[in-house]
Amino acid sequence: MGKENLFDLEIIIFVKVLLTLYMNEIKKKISLVNKLLVKKYGIPPRLKVPPEPVDLLIATILSQNTNDKNSYKAFQNLKGKYNDWNLVEKLPQQKIENLIKTAGLGKQKSFAIKQFLSSLKKEKGKISLDHLKEMNDGYIISELTKYNGIGVKTASCVLLFSLRRNICPVDTHVHRITNRVGIADTNTPDKTFTLLNENMPDDIAHSFHTNLIRLGRGICKPAKPNCGICPLQKVCSYENKLFNGNSNYKENNFLLLDTIK
Ligand code: SF4
């Protein structure tokens, strides 16, 4: 091997070592943040039997841009009334829109639901995502995101809540807090998703994700983080911490995707 090739090889090895050290640091910080959140909130409960992937996917579409209570009502209006996605698939879009109106964005969400159910039925001959259960995470994300209105966040919720994979979906809370704390340094939720899930320690994605959402709703809010009562205060790198918030906040710990049956 010539001197130049040897030099190139050394640079490649050096960069790889640096990258591994950087990844290890991210992994360690995810573990630490998870431990601190579990200390504050505990390990989030899970249903004994995970929800069916189609149910979970539709609940996740309904949950976009609204609170969990409103989307749960909309889900119950569909599932409670028909209890069979084949019947929902046959409804006119307008009827679906009326049934889900408590969740907001009725036109957009009813279109996504109708399109998804019809496409799945056409492709597979039935409304079921059971074929995904044996597939790997990357394949499942690419399969689900090919449908209109289904993005990486929705697909990753199916992976975490329904298929019980060690995958952390990234919503606005997870994206904001992991960037403030210093785990991520990204400008989009999809980039945060890649970074977190390339470095997620085993078996903690559910508690990490769920407890970050609780923290984001109650303490680490977008405009006024309440850093004085935050369990992550000592490990957080956010430069604009605020310490004058109210310590008597009311917590909302109803989490839709751990409630769907
Ligand atoms: S210390 Fe403040 S900015 Fe950091 S995570 Fe807690 S509430 Fe958010």
Q: In the predicted model, what is the mean pLDDT of residues 53-60?
A: 95
Does ligand 1 come within 6 angstroms of the Cβ of 219?
yes
The helix/strand/coil state of 253 is coil
The helix/strand/coil state of 228 is helix
Closest of 147, 132, 155 to residue 57, by C-alpha: 155
Which of 153, 191, 224, 261 is catalytic? The answer is 153
Q: Could you tell me the pLDDT band of residue 247, with boundaries at 50, 70 and 90? A: low
Q: Could you tell me the pLDDT band of residue 249, with boundaries at 50, 70 and 90? A: low
Say how many C-beta atoms besides its own lie within 10 A of residue 54's C-beta.
18
The helix/strand/coil state of 220 is coil
Which residue would you say has higher pLDDT here, 57 or 3?
57
Q: What is the 3-state secondary structure (H, E, C) of 59-124?
A: HHHHHCCCCHHHHHHHHHHHHHHHCCHHHHHHCCHHHHHHHCHHHCCHHHHHHHHHHHHHHHHHHH
**Which ligand 1 atom is the nearest neighbour of the CA of 177?**
5
Q: Is the pLDDT of residue 217 over 80?
A: yes
Spell out the residues 6+ positions from residue 6 whose beta carbon is closer than 8 angstroms to its own: none
Between the CA of 171 and the centroid of ligand 1 the distance, in Å, is 17
Rounded to an integer, what is the distance from CA 93 to the centroid of its chain?
27
Looking at ligand 1, which residue's alpha carbon is closest to its atom 4?
Answer: 236
Same fold? 53-162, 172-258: no
pLDDT for residue 252: 65
Degrees to nearest 5, angle at CA 166 with 160 and 172:
60
Q: How far apart are CA 31 and CA 20, in angstroms?
A: 16
pLDDT tens per residue, range 183-212 = 999 999 999 999 999 999 999 999 999 999
Q: Is the pLDDT of residue 22 over 90?
A: no
Between the CA of 211 and the centroid of ligand 1 the distance, in Å, is 13
pLDDT for residue 14: 74
Q: Of 5-9, 75-79, 227-231, give the range with the top mean pLDDT.
A: 227-231
- Whole-prediction pTM: 0.89
Degrees to nearest 5, angle at CA 242 with 31 and 22:
30
Spell out the residues 6+ positions from residue 133 whose beta carbon is closer than 8 angstroms to its own: 53, 163
Q: Would you list the domain boundaries of the chain?
A: 53-162, 172-258
For the domain made up of 172-258, give the CATH fold: Endonuclease Iii, domain 2 (1.10.1670)
Q: What is the 3-state secondary structure (H, E, C) of 3-64?
A: HHHHHHHHHHHHHHHHHHHHHHHHHHHHHHHHHHHHHHHCCCCCCCCCCCHHHHHHHHHHHC
Between the CA of 7 and the centroid of ligand 1 the distance, in Å, is 44
Q: Is the pLDDT of residue 43 over 90?
A: yes
* Residue type present at position 184: A
The helix/strand/coil state of 224 is coil
Q: In the predicted model, what is the mean pLDDT of residues 227-241?
A: 97
Looking at ligand 1, which residue's alpha carbon is closest to its atom 8?
Answer: 220
pLDDT for residue 65: 85
pLDDT tens per residue, range 78-88 = 988 888 999 99
Does ligand 1 come within 6 angstroms of the Cβ of 232?
yes
Give catalytic status of residue 191 as yes or no. no
Looking at ligand 1, which residue's alpha carbon is closest to its atom 2?
Answer: 227
pLDDT tens per residue, range 135-153 = 999 999 999 999 988 999 9
Q: Is the pLDDT of residue 233 over 90?
A: yes
Q: Could you tell me the pLDDT band of residue 67, with boundaries at 50, 70 and 90? A: confident
CATH number of 53-162: 1.10.340.30
Does ligand 1 come within 6 angstroms of the Cβ of 236?
yes
